[in-house]
Amino acid sequence: MKIVIIVAVAQNGVIGRTNGEMPWHVKEDFQHFKQTTLGHPIIMGRKTFESLGKPLKGRKNIIVTRNENYKVEYDDVKIFLSLDEAIEYCRSKGEGKIFITGGGEIYRQAISLANEMIISYMKFDADGEVKFPEFSESDWKVISKEAREQFEIVTYERKN
Ligand SMILES: NC(=O)c1ccc[n+]([C@@H]2O[C@H](COP(=O)([O-])OP(=O)(O)OC[C@H]3O[C@@H](n4cnc5c(N)ncnc54)[C@H](OP(=O)(O)O)[C@@H]3O)[C@@H](O)[C@H]2O)c1
């Protein structure tokens, strides 16, 4: 099963605000995110889920939280108490590909587990406290680069 991180990062490394807000709205990047993830499970932290406000359609939405009593009003959303459990659930369902969709705390834990990263590098700085973790470029091979008006999509595959 392929584990893929998908993220949009500002030039200064920012990915969001601690109050859950996304500091920018770039339609073309939302479209890329949707097109890429549709039909696959998406795993996210509780804070990211709450910032979305509702599950994203056409994808199994999986939330991780440490709160055993955490509940949502949507039947089709799965909740797990660890990232590992969420990933193992997908494996047990025979999924071929899953996406890790943030936020910062989840990316930090997922970066050592992922086989691939699809990073939209935005061409601007943004205000915010949540950053994408630093990673060693030497562990990753760039397999594609796609230029868009306000960003560039770089796809990395883990070496070996
Ligand atoms: N630019 C992008 O592509 C992008 C993508 C996604 C999100 N974002 C932004 O990122 C920000 C949110 O990131 P964040 O770091 O604050 O929060 P987050 O990673 O979305 O969620 C953190 C929460 O996830 C749960 N969690 C984390 N690790 C866990 C583990 N190992 N086991 C069980 N539960 C675990 C905890 O929930 P509990 O507190 O409930 O225990 C924790 O408080 C928002 O601003 C959002 O807009 C940006």
pLDDT number for residue 130: 98
Domain ranges of the chain: 2-92+102-154
| Any atom of ligand 1 within 6 Å of the Cβ of 65 | yes
| Domain 2-92+102-154: CATH class, spelled out | alpha beta
For residue 117, what are its two tokens? 């990263």
Confidence at 115, pLDDT banded by 50, 70, 90: very high
C-alpha distances (whole Å) from 69 to each of 29, 52, 79, 81 are: 34, 20, 10, 10
Q: What is the pLDDT of residues 61-85, one digit of tens each?
A: 999 999 999 999 999 999 999 999 9
Q: pTM here?
A: 0.98
Length of the chain: 160
Whether 17 is in the pocket of ligand 1, judged by its Cβ within 6 Å, is yes
Query: What is the pLDDT, as a whole number, of residue 114?
Result: 98
Tell me the sheet residues that pair with 119: 7, 154
Give 3-19 pLDDT, tens digit per residue.
Answer: 999 999 999 999 999 99
pLDDT at position 28, please? 98
Residue 160 has pLDDT above 90, yes or no: no
At 23-50, the pLDDT tens digits run: 999 999 999 999 999 999 999 999 999 9
Tell me how far apart the alpha carbons of residues 123 and 52 are, in angstroms, rounded to a whole number. 24
Query: Which among 52, 66, 107 is the best mutation to test ligand 1's pocket, defined by most ligand atoms within 8 Å of the CB?
Result: 66
| Mutational pocket test of ligand 1: of 26, 80, 130, 150, the residue with most ligand atoms within 8 Å of the beta carbon | 130
For the residues 55-60, what does the mean pLDDT come to?
98
Span 117-149, pLDDT tens digits? 999 999 999 999 999 999 999 999 999 999 999
Give the strand pairing for 97-100 and 2-9.
parallel
Q: Sort strands 77-80 and 97-100 into parallel, antiparallel or unpaired.
A: unpaired
